[in-house]
A and B are shown apart, each in its own frame.
Chain A
């Protein structure tokens, strides 16, 4: 038997074994998760593991989208800071979370409540938190629905009944102050969730938890998670380094790797200036902050990584940004957006750089990033005192935390970019750890318009690998919600004024719009229920980024209702 024959026989045996040992439901789940397009369901935060935020449904399309109208709505209680989550849909049931980690299961066709869940939180702790009490999403798997809490827990609910299955305390939030706001990710038998971090002086862990039992299996510290990483933090600065993984990553089954983006180091702004390798509050590269990391889902061991911004001195996380997995020219690539406004393209077998391109115009924290090596060229390290000219982009980022979308039919990547800068005075600070950790900013600042015009946003349709632009839509106010692409040749953008737009995916021509009455700062999905396609989008305003809009733009944000929200679901008129 030749090697090739042995290989084929081996593969066949493995396939048969898989069919015998894997239940039909689980095989179906895996197929849906690994597909390019979300079909009838939207089974995971980014649509599928490919992270396209793309629905393969085309019942609603460019020809009939003008007939889209509201099918039903749902109003969550205690929507403090609006709604920031991305719903999931499985088997005609829509699931979504709101502030205080409240969860609803709703009939996808009618909106009728199937069950609801409200965890008992440590309200005294919540009152002491800044990045709270919003929740950005859930995960479903193993017959459970998983949601994190701002007081440091991961909770499993029976997906059919909403009955609590387990409740695992993962973080000492009374000490660290922060907890979990990002969606978990189901990978095989595990559920994976990343802690908040960044300007919070801890070590920003990511956890692997057994989905069935709730038992913690592993914990990976994004700050000094290995000896190699610890050597990149001068003195004891690794103890208060920040980091975190506050948005969900994804999974590449071909390499058995969980890709996750990590948060910035603390303090945000570093007064060491050009001498950052040797002096300042956190001398060195500060691994693995502002990095993309690949973890073994079974052990939590680091497999490979790329630090997008070594010694990030500007608060430009890698936590933002989905991991768009595309194959091109025989290469297996992953495309990831960094908060600083650049798009990184990696070889997904090892995180080696394939390209880097800027999505936004107003960037001056570096002159450029080498598209072949990822090296920062002309980095602007900030000494203590007033920063002149203002730093671009502003702390809200050239790219915010909600996701773009990719259409595999036309090969276009749709991404929101933000144009704004920030006046900044860097100041020396001391981390406050007792009695509980506090933000460590290291500066005072004020967002301002960029040098080339007013503060603004844009959606552009581009080649995800080269960045070549096909079309662009400008917005007076940067949209802060995720984007949805569909096989109906449509791109949906929920904007900050409260309007949902549908564009022709090939041309950018606006085909439909509808005012939901308040700004959007959440995800948008499509799913099938009872033979009909639906588009579901939460509306609701009041996030930390959107709170900047009153000072920057005045109306309509000065008068916009906050701390409320609605899930609005559309379908075609009969």
Chain B
């Protein structure tokens, strides 16, 4: 099943408030481990496009619009469940597993970014 883009985008936007408790916890631990202010969690952390340009764009090129080290993602016919599962579990020798690295909210934000891509 494909989650409508509007719902995904809305989830991405409201996720920080839905997960306020867990984010507060993450923010505290981040602050303790590193004094960098930008390491602290904020609603901006969950901007899917920025996360893509930070990490995912190394392999999925032209912002996911073009095949490179990783496959093209824009207009992907893969289901949302498939993409979320792949982001979480990765693929040995090809893609890292982000399931314990990114929060569910961040992964949904990345999915929202992918679904919003033109060609």
What sequence of 0s and 1s flags, for each residue 436-462 of chain A, a beta carbon within 8 Å of any chain B beta carbon? 101111111111000000000000000
> In the bound complex, what is the Cα–Cα distance between A130 and B92 (angstroms)?
10
What sequence of 0s and 1s flags, for each residue 30-71 of chain B, a beta carbon within 8 Å of any chain A beta carbon? 100111101100001100011111110111011110111100
When C-beta atoms are compared, the residue in chain A nearest to B47 turns out to be: A430
Q: A128 to B58, Cβ gap below 8 A?
A: no
The interface centre, meaning the residue of A129, A435, A436 with most chain B CB atoms within 10 A of its CB, is A435
A sample of 20 cross-chain residue pairs with beta-carbon separation below 8 angstroms, ordered by A number, consists of A127-B90, A127-B96, A128-B100, A130-B58, A428-B53, A429-B53, A430-B38, A432-B55, A433-B30, A434-B33, A434-B34, A435-B26, A435-B100, A440-B55, A443-B57, A446-B66, A547-B68, A547-B69, A551-B66, A551-B68
The verdict on B21 contacting chain A, using a C-beta distance below 8 Å, is no
Q: A551 to B53, Cβ gap below 8 A?
A: no
Q: Which residues of B contact A136 (CB under 8 A)?
A: none
- A441-B58, A446-B61, A551-B67 are known; give 8 further A-B pairs, CB within 8 A: A431-B38, A431-B39, A434-B29, A434-B33, A439-B58, A441-B53, A441-B55, A443-B53
The verdict on A393 contacting chain B, using a C-beta distance below 8 Å, is no
Q: Which residues of A contact B97 (CB under 8 A)?
A: 127-128
Within 8 Å by CB of B52, from A240, A444, A550, lies A444
> In the bound complex, what is the Cα–Cα distance between A438 and B59 (angstroms)?
13
Q: B58 to A563, Cβ gap below 8 A?
A: no
When C-beta atoms are compared, the residue in chain A nearest to B66 turns out to be: A446
The verdict on B4 contacting chain A, using a C-beta distance below 8 Å, is no
Contact flag A436-B55 (CB < 8 Å), given A127-B92, A444-B63: no
> In the bound complex, what is the Cα–Cα distance between A80 and B90 (angstroms)?
14
The verdict on A544 contacting chain B, using a C-beta distance below 8 Å, is yes
Contact flag A438-B45 (CB < 8 Å), given A128-B100, A444-B61, A550-B67: no
Within 8 Å by CB of A236, from B26, B35, B52, B96, lies B35
Q: A130 to B96, Cβ gap below 8 A?
A: yes
Least Cβ–Cβ distance between B57 and chain A, in angstroms: 4
Q: Which residues of A contact B96 (CB under 8 A)?
A: 127-130
Q: A548 to B68, Cβ gap below 8 A?
A: yes
Contact flag A436-B101 (CB < 8 Å), given A130-B96, A431-B36: yes
What sequence of 0s and 1s flags, for each residue 102-116 of chain B, a beta carbon within 8 Å of any chain A beta carbon? 000000000000000
The verdict on A50 contacting chain B, using a C-beta distance below 8 Å, is no
Q: B50 to A428, Cβ gap below 8 A?
A: yes
The verdict on A514 contacting chain B, using a C-beta distance below 8 Å, is no
Q: A240 to B54, Cβ gap below 8 A?
A: no
The verdict on A425 contacting chain B, using a C-beta distance below 8 Å, is yes
Within 8 Å by CB of B33, from A133, A433, A443, lies A433
Within 8 Å by CB of A423, from B26, B45, B62, B100, lies B62
Q: Which residues of B contact A127 (CB under 8 A)?
A: 90, 92, 96-97
Least Cβ–Cβ distance between B55 and chain A, in angstroms: 5
Least Cβ–Cβ distance between B34 and chain A, in angstroms: 6
What sequence of 0s and 1s flags, for each residue 81-92 of chain A, a beta carbon within 8 Å of any chain B beta carbon? 100000000000
The interface centre, meaning the residue of A81, A425, A446, A447 with most chain B CB atoms within 10 A of its CB, is A446
The verdict on A112 contacting chain B, using a C-beta distance below 8 Å, is no
Q: Which residues of B contact A130 (CB under 8 A)?
A: 58-59, 96
Q: A563 to B53, Cβ gap below 8 A?
A: no
Q: Which residues of B contact A438 (CB under 8 A)?
A: 54-55, 101
What sequence of 0s and 1s flags, for each residue 23-55 of chain A, a beta carbon within 8 Å of any chain B beta carbon? 000000000000000000000000000000000
Q: A199 to B36, Cβ gap below 8 A?
A: no
Give the top 4 A-B pairs by smallest Cβ distance, nearest first: A444-B63, A427-B53, A80-B93, A547-B69
> In the bound complex, what is the Cα–Cα distance between A379 and B64 (angstroms)?
29
> In the bound complex, what is the Cα–Cα distance between A239 and B34 (angstroms)?
9
Least Cβ–Cβ distance between B45 and chain A, in angstroms: 7
**Interface hits, A387-442 → B, CB 8 Å:** 423, 425, 427-436, 438-442
Q: A439 to B55, Cβ gap below 8 A?
A: yes
> In the bound complex, what is the Cα–Cα distance between A442 and B106 (angstroms)?
18
> In the bound complex, what is the Cα–Cα distance between A547 and B70 (angstroms)?
8
Q: Which residues of B contact A133 (CB under 8 A)?
A: 93
Least Cβ–Cβ distance between B63 and chain A, in angstroms: 4
> In the bound complex, what is the Cα–Cα distance between A547 and B95 (angstroms)?
12
> In the bound complex, what is the Cα–Cα distance between A427 and B51 (angstroms)?
10
The verdict on A542 contacting chain B, using a C-beta distance below 8 Å, is yes
Within 8 Å by CB of A432, from B33, B54, B90, lies B54
Q: B57 to A445, Cβ gap below 8 A?
A: yes
Contact flag A563-B93 (CB < 8 Å), given A128-B98, A435-B100, A438-B55: yes
When C-beta atoms are compared, the residue in chain A nearest to B51 turns out to be: A432
Q: Which residues of B contact A446 (CB under 8 A)?
A: 61-62, 66, 68
Q: Which residues of A contact B90 (CB under 8 A)?
A: 127-128
The interface centre, meaning the residue of B53, B63, B96, B101 with most chain A CB atoms within 10 A of its CB, is B53
Q: Which residues of B contact A81 (CB under 8 A)?
A: 93
> In the bound complex, what is the Cα–Cα distance between A447 and B59 (angstroms)?
11
Q: Which residues of A contact B67 (CB under 8 A)?
A: 550-551
When C-beta atoms are compared, the residue in chain A nearest to B50 turns out to be: A429
> In the bound complex, what is the Cα–Cα distance between A236 and B35 (angstroms)?
9
Least Cβ–Cβ distance between A280 and chain B, in angstroms: 13
Least Cβ–Cβ distance between B93 and chain A, in angstroms: 4
Q: Which residues of A contact B29 (CB under 8 A)?
A: 434
> In the bound complex, what is the Cα–Cα distance between A57 and B24 (angstroms)?
65
Q: A433 to B61, Cβ gap below 8 A?
A: no
> In the bound complex, what is the Cα–Cα distance between A289 and B104 (angstroms)?
35
Q: Which residues of A contact B45 (CB under 8 A)?
A: 430
> In the bound complex, what is the Cα–Cα distance between A434 and B59 (angstroms)?
21
The interface centre, meaning the residue of A432, A436, A444 with most chain B CB atoms within 10 A of its CB, is A444
Q: Which residues of A contact B64 (CB under 8 A)?
A: 444
What sequence of 0s and 1s flags, for each residue 1-13 of chain B, a beta carbon within 8 Å of any chain A beta carbon? 0000000000000
Q: Which residues of A contact B55 (CB under 8 A)?
A: 432, 438-441
